[in-house]
Structure 1
Amino acid sequence: MNGTTTDGNGASPADAWEDLVTAALLGTGRRPPARLAPGRPAPVALLDAAAEITVRRRAGLRPARAGRRRRAPGDPRPALPAAAARRLAMLLADRAGGASGGGRRGSSPDLTELLPQWLAAANAHGYAAPAQALPALLDAARGRTDLRPAALAFAGPRALWLARFNPDWRFALRSAPGGAALPEPGDQGAIHQLWQEGLFAERVALLGALRSRDPALARELLAGTWPTERAEDRLMFLDSLRAGLSAADEPFLEKALGDRSRNVRATAAELLSALPGSALAARMAVRASACVALDRTGGSPAIMVEAPHECDSGMERDGVVATPPAGRGERSWWLGQLVEAAPLGTWPDRLGGRTASQIVALPVADDWQGELHAAWCRAAVRQRDAGWARALLGSPSAPEAGGPGAVSLAERAKLLATLDPAERAEWVAGFIATHGLSEAFQLLGVCGVPWAAPLGRAVVDALNIARDAGSYPWSFSGVMGLAERCLDPAEATRLQALLATPDEREDAAPGAGGYWAEAFQRLVTTLRLRAAMADELTPKDTTGAPEHRPRPTTGSGAGEHRPAPTDSETGERRSP
């Protein structure tokens, strides 16, 4: 603003504005503003003067020097088919609607919950986002953190370019930009420059990309700047080493065990313990073996446990946290950390050459079974050991809902994630057939989408049994919502028979029959909509027929699509 401009009384607009603000804050009765038009009540005159000065302040702004603008980067990915682009606009427009938090949802599909699945499918096909959809995509990702990875990957490098112009979209610059424009693999100069000068999100993306194509260069870059990085950044960079973790990472991780940040040290130790051949894993095996042994003095063999009596400096350096959380004993806390960090291959030799299943079946003396088995569960998840996971899960049709070693539904869900998708779905289907749906929700959440046919049939059959039994219908709303997002759309035809309103039993919840019919109608409608969405995203040849491209898979790994995160008890999707 031009500071030489004055109002009619010789005061600059800046001084006059400050006088008005002070009067408004203190009240015109205590501080009458100067230079107000006479003959009007002071509050009214103050507001009139404020409006006048506001216009003058805006009109008095000098044009700013034009900044240097970089052109939006190109996006080489194929354009989205027209029908799919229209569907995206519909989903984004409806994102603020959705179903209400309580009560009946009606028979219309919840488009809000279809957006994550649409984005996953579009990314699997490798499409570029339409330029006109980028603002709405960024707004949707801002409001829902669960959408951000898929939305930013689909939006591509232009989303990052656009986010620099709007403070509301700065989250995109802090998030890992899946579609960020990275240097070519052979352009060493550009790679080093981006690592030295790029935004944090760009550096994380660069490190992730290099891990897949040149892990040695990724470690070299990280080691070169490691001492000067902030602790929170070191932690994030270290976490990126989980992808493609190998024995070649061990020397760097061993050095990180001496980091000044406790969280960095703990993460380095966790990564090293996931490498069964590492020196840290060997040290942990020695410590854990000293605590767990086979007792043959009784009538039958059993496992004997002697928990550590202290946490020495060597244990702390290797990632053992000395102070337990509230309610945990020190010795059991230390024991669990040692066992979960020891290679699972330690135990067959230590416990008489037994297999994982035979070890898990052994009795454990002095009430240590829960602690020991829980630590083995964590070790199986960390080391991705499917054999131990199967042993700890046990049979899905066991009389008790838990396996021989799993201590909670959360533990069982993590163990299931180590199995391949087909075996995972088969186990959960067997669990539902035996135990029903009351405890299955968290287990369903780790199964790939769309559900395999046996799992889909098990869920639908269990819902139908619950309906016929007159069960309270609203208690199954979470599973029904999962079915809408995860059931194979091909199941829509088989579900037609469930659309009629059943005769209500005398002991059924009031209105249950109508609710079930409404819910199954919504399920069928949603499945058909998902089928239409998949068809719209399928590339067509010049005749309009679908091209014979490999179908996007949902196998285990980084590309596997999972349902949106939900609350394990209620089955409702968590708010961001």
Structure 2
Amino acid sequence: MSEATAVEAGGPGSWDDLVAAALLGTDRRPPPGHTADHTAGHPAGHAAGRAAARDAPTALLDAAAVATVRRRAGLAPARAADRPSPAPEDPRPPLPEAAARRLTTLLADRAGLAAGGRRGAAPDLMELLPQWLATANARGYTALSAALPALLDAARARTDLRTAVLAFAGPRALWLARWNPDWRFALRTAGGAGPALTGPSLTGPEAAARLWREGLFAERVALLGSLRAADPAAARDLLVSTWATERAEDRLMFLDSLRTGLGPADEPFLEEALSDRSRTVRATAAELLSTLPGSALAARMGRRALSCVSLDLARDPATITVEAPYACDAGMERDGVAARAPAGRGERSWWLGQVVEAAPLALWSARLGGRTPAEIVALPVTDGWRDDLHAAWCRAAIRRRDAEWAAALLGAPTAPGVGGPGGPGVVSPAERSRLLGTMGAEERAAWVAGFIAGHGLSEAFQLLVVCGVPWAPVLGRSVIDALDIARDAGSYPWSFSGVMGLAERCLDPAEAVRLDALLAPPDEREDASPGAAGYWAEAFRRLVTTLRLRAAMAAELGATTPDPPPTAA
């Protein structure tokens, strides 16, 4: 080993040895090699040792100077590593020049707050990046090589961008991610050690089986998800092959992938999973089976539900009667009914809710006199069971994505009691939004527009989140009118900042023309908050500026209007 290598490797004469000698003192710890050089075999004996001790500080400084130069010079020459294989080609067309410049601007944006903590009238460009990516992906473009590092940095900082960024950046981003530990998330998100997996046609069954046996957990999850989308049976067979040896938390995650492409062929495996040693795995298997209308579990839960709910025709009007279960037997537990009720919840209502939720919704029309879901929801219910029954039907409609039942449970959007104690069994804005997610885009937008017209914007944020982008004209007009009313009321716009932020991303850019009339500050009312009119004018200017920027972004990408990013149901 050369002296330079020894200094860097921590051997005799290393930098650490020099630092130790300096800290302890050269009289207690001579510089490496100094004593041997000046005393061993010296004829003067002790006199030579004293001379060497006097020279030791100088020798230490000399050694430190030499070591410093070596450290600054870099590493010692070594055998060259194998040259990495080139990044794969991406056949998609590159971005138009104007769109490429826009992407650079969006990625570089670091918008801060204006004086006083306000955003000012400048658009928040980073909030427009998801929509820009969705439009670029829909148009089939790929990123320029120079933009890949910034795209990967943005996806690292924001997990909501990762799917869109990796789709846009393509295989070159995955190649690049192998050389930077900060970007390893891209390999996990895309399925591991290669391009995003899209099924056996690209990876081959042997490669898929090897990755399933040897891959990291995130790689296995991605593999199972991609296989499930391409070949549900192959994914299920892969899962069955190692099911008995998987950890409970892993079994739960893997089982959840069966939601994609769920069909009758999955029933035997799921029935076996009902006997799993993990309670959460059993519950997930039961939930999946309950969404298969012809499954044996759905039939069992249907029979239990019908034994609890009936129609009393002797009453006027006809009334639903409920006889909730008095016990939770072993069969109910195996089918996913949790025996222990949460604190503050009665056991019988807890069991009833789970049974009705898991029963097929198609049973109720025949059981309750051939009535439609809307007519069933309108029926009175005896003995205070109405809220429990309607809440269970609400969860069942969400689980099965039944738009007719969802509309019945939501009720008329302008009804005074909708979503409240006097309305149907929708007891929270979160449940309302999940029910809306089962409906078509136009029906959803019309319902939310009616809700805003009848109840204002105070409870509309979660409902607006699930509406398609850009908002339908009826919904956009409803939101603008409600904002105008709030402005005229004299309050500050900060109470509606969430809705205003959604409007910037979701309003149709064509609505900017209608907003021009709101840019001038209105006359201050005597009872208005001080300065509120000016703040509203600033907020509307930002909204209009953002809408026109979105229109320009779409034009640069060759789209007439921004393509919508995926929305949560």
Matching residue of 2:88: 73
Counterpart of 1:419 in 2: which secondary structure?
coil
Partner Cα distance (2:254, 2:17) in 1: 52
Partner Cα distance (1:329, 1:287) in 2: 18
Counterpart of 1:160 (choices 170, 174, 179) is 174
Matching residue of 2:372: 355
Task: Report the more deviating stretch, 234-243 or 380-389.
Answer: 234-243
How far did 1:406 drift? 0.8
Counterpart of 2:529 in 1: which secondary structure?
coil
Counterpart of 2:117 in 1: which secondary structure?
coil
How far did 1:224 drift? 2.4
Matching residue of 1:439: 459
Q: Deviation digits for residues 185-230 of structure 1, max 9, x if unmatched?
A: 2844444444445554454444334334432222222222333344
Partner Cα distance (1:488, 1:354) in 2: 40
How far did 1:481 drift? 0.8
Matching residue of 1:368: 385
Partner Cα distance (1:501, 1:105) in 2: 17
Matching residue of 1:239: 256
Matching residue of 1:307: 324
How far did 1:50 drift? 12
Asked if the contact 1:425/1:452 (under 8 Å) is kept, the reply is yes
How far did 1:396 drift? 0.6
Matching residue of 2:124: 110
How far did 1:516 drift? 0.9
Gaps of 5+ in 2: 33-52
Matching residue of 1:334: 351
Counterpart of 1:327 in 2: which secondary structure?
coil
Q: Which aligned pairs between 1:442-521 and structure 2 lie closer than 5 A? A: 442-521=462-541
Instruction: Give 2:402's aligned amino acid.
Output: D
Counterpart of 1:319 (choices 336, 343, 352) is 336
How far did 1:451 drift? 0.2
Asked if the contact 1:72/1:161 (under 8 Å) is kept, the reply is yes
Partner Cα distance (1:277, 1:54) in 2: 78
For the structure 1 residues 197 and 20, does the alpha-carbon distance in structure 2 shift closer, same or farther, using more than 3 Å as the test? farther
Q: Which aligned pairs between 1:27-426 and structure 2 lie closer than 5 A? A: 34-35=29-30, 56=71, 59=74, 63=78, 66=81, 69-94=84-109, 96-99=110-113, 103-176=117-190, 180=196, 182=198, 185=201, 187-296=204-313, 298-402=315-419, 403-426=423-446
Partner Cα distance (1:293, 1:101) in 2: 64
Partner Cα distance (2:547, 2:406) in 1: 33
How far did 1:463 drift? 0.6
Instruction: Give 1:73's aligned amino acid.
Output: P
Asked if the contact 2:325/2:351 (under 8 Å) is kept, the reply is yes
How far did 1:148 drift? 1.8
Instruction: Give 2:430's aligned amino acid.
Output: A
Larger radius of gyration: 2
Asked if the contact 1:157/1:181 (under 8 Å) is kept, the reply is no
Instruction: Give 1:87's aligned amino acid.
Output: R
Matching residue of 2:39: none
Q: Deviation digits for residues 258-302 of structure 1, max 9, x if unmatched?
A: 233332222221111111221111111122222222334544332
For the structure 1 residues 330 and 160, does the alpha-carbon distance in structure 2 shift closer, same or farther, using more than 3 Å as the test? farther
Identity fraction in percent:
67
**Between Structure 1 and Structure 2, which shows a larger proportion of helix residues?**
2
Partner Cα distance (2:513, 2:364) in 1: 50
Partner Cα distance (2:191, 2:389) in 1: 40
How far did 1:312 drift? 2.5
Asked if the contact 2:15/2:67 (under 8 Å) is kept, the reply is no
Partner Cα distance (2:388, 2:413) in 1: 22
For the structure 1 residues 284 and 92, does the alpha-carbon distance in structure 2 shift closer, same or farther, using more than 3 Å as the test? same
How far did 1:425 drift? 0.3
Partner Cα distance (1:405, 1:242) in 2: 27
Q: Does 1:560 align with 2:566?
A: yes
Task: Report the more deviating stretch, 436-445 or 357-366.
Answer: 357-366
For the structure 1 residues 520 and 255, does the alpha-carbon distance in structure 2 shift closer, same or farther, using more than 3 Å as the test? same
Normalising by the residue count of structure 1, what TM-score does the alignment of the two structures yield? Answer: 0.83
For the structure 1 residues 74 and 337, does the alpha-carbon distance in structure 2 shift closer, same or farther, using more than 3 Å as the test? farther
Matching residue of 1:573: none
How far did 1:452 drift? 0.3
Asked if the contact 2:394/2:426 (under 8 Å) is kept, the reply is yes
Partner Cα distance (1:75, 1:17) in 2: 53
Asked if the contact 1:156/1:177 (under 8 Å) is kept, the reply is no
Counterpart of 2:133 in 1: which secondary structure?
helix
Instruction: Give 1:117's aligned amino acid.
Output: Q
Task: Report the more deviating stretch, 280-289 or 328-337.
Answer: 328-337
Matching residue of 2:49: none
Instruction: Give 1:71's aligned amino acid.
Output: P
Matching residue of 1:570: none
Asked if the contact 1:125/1:552 (under 8 Å) is kept, the reply is no
Normalising by the residue count of structure 2, what TM-score does the alignment of the two structures yield? Answer: 0.84
